[in-house]
Amino acid sequence: MARSGLATRLYRGEAGLDIIGKRKLWFGIAGVLVLVALLSFAFRGFTLGIEFEGGNSFQVPASVGTLTQAEDRVNGVLGSEAGGAEVESAQTIGGGSGEFYEFRTAELSPDEANAVKSGLAQEFGINADQISANQVSAAWGGQYTERALLGLIIFIALVMLYLIIRFEWRMAVGAVSSLLLNLILTAGVYSLVGFEVTPSTIIGFLTILGFALYDVVVVFDKVQENTRGITANNNQTYGEAANLAVNQTLMRSINTGLVALLPVGGLLFIGVPLGAVTLKDLGLVLFVGMFVAVYSSIFFATPVLATLKDFEPRIQAHNKRVLARRGAIARGEVTPKGAPRPATGGQPTDAEAAALAGAAPKVGARPAGKRPTGARGGRPSGGGGNRPGGAKRR
């Protein structure tokens, strides 16, 4: 029979990818990415939107000219009416007949904002009511951030509680560490790219947490199924059972991630160039967060769980028994169950018999009792009792 292709084996969970065994590699990759993100936080920081930094925004119709030309003229008005203030960011909003240019500045006083609006109307030769002016205080952004952080803390606490009740505390630690990795890497990409942090960004961060948690719970549920009663046999270590679970759910995780990434990618890479720029912040955080969630659920959460389980004495003892048994089989000291008997008369060698006789019983298995003889399990059949020759003839 021809060997199945990789895609077929992935769907069947038979790819045999050694994900748990290479956990040091995945931890190293995650560590490097986290370091890059932290360095970006320290040296580049974040580009805060007007909602968090405070300031004024002015929207003028795109019919006044190109964005660059309009920005130069707005800077001229700001220089004369607002004490030398400048445009901090400019972007195009909407499309077609409803297309506008939005210019954001530092926070201006009410008198300065009104003077700038009148000056823009005169500069562009349009009515003042065609210009939209808004002012946002930095205090609003601080309150919004505080609420978001409170929601994040409550979410993580509830997730920890649920996972401890549903699984165990080690799985809870693995899941939460995966969520934190997701947040740090997504924020790192946001910092490197330089997109503005807006309320849409915060909403996107909270959204990807639910997606990432769903994927991790699916994998952990399969891990729990594969490792239930694992110490009752000496054929598989905990890490190997967890690795099998990851392989069995690998294609499901990939499919779920692709289905989620396709519409978000369409929004980010197609919708934004066509004019949906107000959604670029949400699109970027969702795209990066969902992509990292797939990586973290496969290559980080379960390896963290397996590492924590390796410190559990019960699992340590079990893993040692498994490895010791494999070593004995490799040396020919033990014949594995179901293997053909040796060619020397069909009987095991002295070394095999001694190893089998001294082998420790499986954890959780009942100790084997004496084999019963006869129909009643201790007395020979035939009614002769314990006397070898039966009843004496008279």
**pLDDT in the model for residue 355:** 43
Average pLDDT over residues 218-228: 90
* Rounded-to-5 percentages of helix, strand, coil across the chain: 65, 5, 30
Rounded distance between C-alpha atoms, residue 321 and residue 231, angstroms: 9
139 pLDDT higher than 60: yes
Residue-averaged pLDDT of the chain = 78
Residue bearing tokens 């089998």: 356
Contact 301, 214 (CB under 8 A): no
- Which class for 157: exposed (0-12), middle (13-18), buried (19 or more C-beta within 10 A)? exposed
Q: How many CB atoms lie within 10 A of CB 168?
A: 17
Contact 211, 290 (CB under 8 A): yes
- Which class for 301: exposed (0-12), middle (13-18), buried (19 or more C-beta within 10 A)? buried
**pLDDT in the model for residue 275:** 55
Rounded distance between C-alpha atoms, residue 61 and residue 182, angstroms: 40
Average pLDDT over residues 282-291: 85
372 pLDDT higher than 70: no
Q: How many CB atoms lie within 10 A of CB 82?
A: 20
194 pLDDT higher than 60: yes
pTM equals 0.72
pLDDT cut 90: percent of the chain above it: 20
**pLDDT in the model for residue 314:** 92
Q: Which residue has the higher pLDDT, 27 or 79?
A: 27
User: And the tokens for 39?
Assistant: 């360095």
Average pLDDT over residues 319-335: 82
Rounded distance between C-alpha atoms, residue 273 and residue 283, angstroms: 12
392 pLDDT higher than 70: no
- Which class for 367: exposed (0-12), middle (13-18), buried (19 or more C-beta within 10 A)? exposed
- In the chain, which ranges are E strands? 47-48, 55-61, 89-93, 100-105, 132-136, 196-197
Rounded distance between C-alpha atoms, residue 205 and residue 182, angstroms: 9
**pLDDT in the model for residue 325:** 85
Residues pairing with 92 in the sheet: 101
Q: Which residues of 107-126 are buried (b: 16+ CB within 10 A; e: fewer)?
A: bbeeebbebbbebbbebbee
Q: Which residues of 209-228 are buried (b: 16+ CB within 10 A; e: fewer)?
A: bebbbebbbbbbebbbebbe
- Which class for 152: exposed (0-12), middle (13-18), buried (19 or more C-beta within 10 A)? middle
**pLDDT in the model for residue 272:** 58
Q: What is the pLDDT of residues 84-121, one digit of tens each?
A: 788 888 878 776 667 888 888 888 888 888 888 898 89
Q: Which residue has the higher pLDDT, 29 or 383?
A: 29
Contact 283, 195 (CB under 8 A): no
